[in-house]
Amino acid sequence: MKELFTMLTDPRFHLLYGVTQRFSMGPEPRQARLNREDMTLAEGVRKKARVYPFMRLGTHPSPLKGDLFSPMFGVVSDINERSLFLEAAEPDEELRAMAAEVRKTDVMELARDCGAGAEGRKRLALGLKELGLNTRSLGQECETLIINGLNPDPGITWAEPMLMAHRSTLSAGLALLRQLSPARKIVLAVPREMRLQFHDLEIAHVPSQYPASVNELLVKAVTGRERPEGVGVVGLHNLWSLGRVAETGLPLVETVLTVGSLRHSGNYIVKDGCMVGELLDFAGIELREGDSLVRGGPLRGESLDKLSRSVTRGSMGVFVVEAGTVPPMQGHAPCINCGACVLICPARLSPSLLSRYAEFALHERARKEHVDACLECGLCGYVCIARRPVLQYIRLAKHKLAEADRRLAPPEPAGAVAGNEPESKEDSHA
């Protein structure tokens, strides 16, 4: 009912785009910038070292975070705290031979060998981690696991083709997911309008208007309850990655993402670490002075400052927002109490009030106004006629409150922290 009365007249918010075309392969990267934060680099990986596809470059200390593999033939051109830079290079005989020696893992066999039960799941998760997969959300503790089959953000269009045209990959991922997840029930949530049958999977039809794809709202649409216990959500993207590894038997070195601008939109399978500039070139998108470059979704993503930023496993899209197509954000604009954000907020908060509290550093008051119930869907900023960075203010308040809590709380044992980072961390790289 609420959808009828919101002011979202933007057709892009209807998360069905009728795109069913199979994904194209992305560019062969000339350069790559891989995220190596917290990773222990493999032996011999240093500046000028030569690398070949699927070569292990680093190991993540967390059992839930995937290891790092090279997506191509090349040379390590630089290494710093956060990133590892590769430069494409013609391989010689020796390197070719090494590349040919990369053995495929029969992942299903691995799953069988690991056995059932909690121990078996743990072993399987470790095995998958060694194939470059993040298994935190896939293997999370829950009774019911919901696969989020909606396009996460408006403008992202890969969910439909993934469900329709790349079904074999999903099926492979699903078979593996059943081994990996402790959930007793796995449900695939798809848009209401989508006709889809899986013989071995329960389908739940949910609304298809953004913000329906926000995890918390998806859970509510499927279970009818708000923040219930024992229900987990995993992205379709993760399931696809799982299926990709199961199908190829090779470590994960790629991601599916939508590259979009005002006129162009396409879905590509892109190599890990591919530079955004190369990707845009490949997609034929011209950038002009004053355009904004976004990694992630157009509503929740992050703004990039230069073309030499890269996409990593877990990136969902790269978007260009042309200068002049949206009114520019006004950092200092005061709230004019128009109430549009209050009307649209799916969490029933008052973003107007929250953003003002954050503006004047009254973070404790924001806590009293339930800032932690915010789902960070970004709609408040979308409808703000004063063009205030509302979501950014709310994130600031949340960040400051978390910081304050950390200062007050007793120090946690090391190691416990690693696996508990928020979901978004997985794709915030370089």
Partner 1 sequence: MPDVRNAVLLAMSAPPYWHCGRTVRRQSLWMAVALAPAALCAVWNWGLPALRVMALCVAACVAAEALCQKVMGRDISVDDGTAAVSGLLLAFMLPAAAPWWLVCLGAAASICLGKMAFGGLGANPVNTTLTGWAILFVSFPLLMDANAMQLDTTFVDPLLRLKYFGAAAAEEIPFEDLLLGRQINGLGAGQAGALFLGGSFLAARGFVRWHIALGFFLGVAGLATAFALADPATNASPFFHLATGSVLLGGFFLITDPANAPSRPLPMFLFGLVGGALVMLIRKYGVYADGAPFAILLANLLAPQLDLLRPKPFGGR
Per CB under 8 A, contacts with partner 1 among 202-261 are 216, 226-227
Structure tokens at 13: 């918010």
Q: Give the binding range for partner 1 (CB under 8 A) out of 89-97, 200-208, 274-282, 310-318.
A: 274-282
Count, in order, helices (H) and strands (E) of the chain: 14, 17
- Does 343 bind partner 1 (CB under 8 A)? Our answer is yes
Q: Which of residues 16-35 bind partner 1 (CB under 8 A)?
A: 31
CA distance between the termini of the chain: 42
Nearest approach, Cβ of residue 367 and partner 1 (Å): 12
Instruction: Identify the residue among 150, 299, 358, 366 touching partner 1 (CB under 8 A).
Output: 299
Q: Which of 131, 156 has the CB closer to partner 1?
A: 156
Among 99, 375, 401, 418, binds partner 1 (CB under 8 A): 375
Do 186 and 173 meet the contact criterion of CB atoms below 8 Å apart?
A: no
* DSSP symbol at 275: B
Regarding 298 and contact with partner 1 (CB under 8 A), the answer is: yes
Decide whether 59 or 77 has the Cβ nearer to partner 1.
77
172 vs 275 by CB, closer to partner 1: 275
Whether 31 contacts 278, CB under 8 Å: yes
Rounded Cα gap, residues 294 and 150, in angstroms = 20
**Of 276, 285, 347, 353, which Cα lies nearest the Cα of 315?**
276
Nearer Cβ to partner 1, position 57 or 379?
Answer: 379
Backbone phi, psi, residue 337, to 5°: 60, 35
> Does 348 participate in binding partner 1 (rule CB under 8 A)?
yes
Choices 122-130, 156-164, 181-189, 374-382 (CB under 8 A): range interacting with partner 1: 374-382
**Cβ 371 to partner 1 shortest distance, Å:** 9
Least distance in Å: CB of 36 to partner 1? 20
CA dist 396 → 23, 64, 358, 407 (Å): 37, 28, 7, 17
Interface with partner 1 (CB under 8 A), residue from 347, 358, 397, 430: 347
Question: Does 378 participate in binding partner 1 (rule CB under 8 A)?
Answer: yes
CB of 257 to partner 1, least distance (A): 16
CB of 216 to partner 1, least distance (A): 7
Q: How far is CA 334 from CA 330, 338, 360, 385, 387, in A?
A: 9, 11, 11, 11, 9
CB 352 within 8 A of CB 342: yes
Distances (CA, A) of 6 to 192, 339, 354, 381, 395: 19, 12, 21, 14, 24
Residue 332 CB, shortest distance to partner 1, in Å, is: 9
- 68, 60 contact by CB (below 8 A): yes
Name the minimum Å distance from CB 162 to partner 1: 23
The reply to whether 292 sits near partner 1 by the rule CB under 8 A is yes
Gap between the Cα atoms of 105 and 418, Å rounded: 27
Applying CB under 8 A, among 304, 362, 401, 418 the residue interacting with partner 1 is 304
3-class SS at 159? helix
- Cβ proximity of 344 and 383 under 8 Å: yes
State the minimum distance, in angstroms, from the CB of residue 342 to partner 1: 4
Q: Which parts of 49-108 interact with partner 1 (CB under 8 A)? A: none
Q: How far apart are the C-alpha atoms of 360 and 143, rounded to whole Å?
A: 42
In the chain, what are the helix, strand and coil shares in percent, each to the nearest 5?
A: 35, 20, 50
Q: Which of 29, 149, 232, 301 binds partner 1 (CB under 8 A)?
A: 301
Q: In whole angstroms, give the CA distance from residue 89 to residue 209.
A: 46
256 or 335: whose CB is closer to partner 1? 335
Q: Choose the stretch contacting partner 1; rule: CB under 8 A; options: 45-53, 72-80, 178-186, 345-353.
A: 345-353
DSSP 14: B
Q: Which of these segments, 62-70, 76-84, 141-149, 317-325, binds partner 1 (CB under 8 A)?
A: 317-325
- Residues in binding contact with partner 1, number by CB under 8 A: 71
CA nearest neighbour of 382 among 428, 335, 429, 340: 340
State yes or no: residue 405 binds partner 1 (CB under 8 A).
Answer: no
- Give yes or no for residue 302 binding partner 1 (CB under 8 A): yes
- 291 forms part of the interface with partner 1 (CB under 8 A): yes
Residue 192 touching partner 1 (CB under 8 A): no
Question: What span, in angstroms and rounded, lies between the C-alpha atoms of 423 and 296?
Answer: 13
Least Å distance, CB 4 to partner 1, is: 12
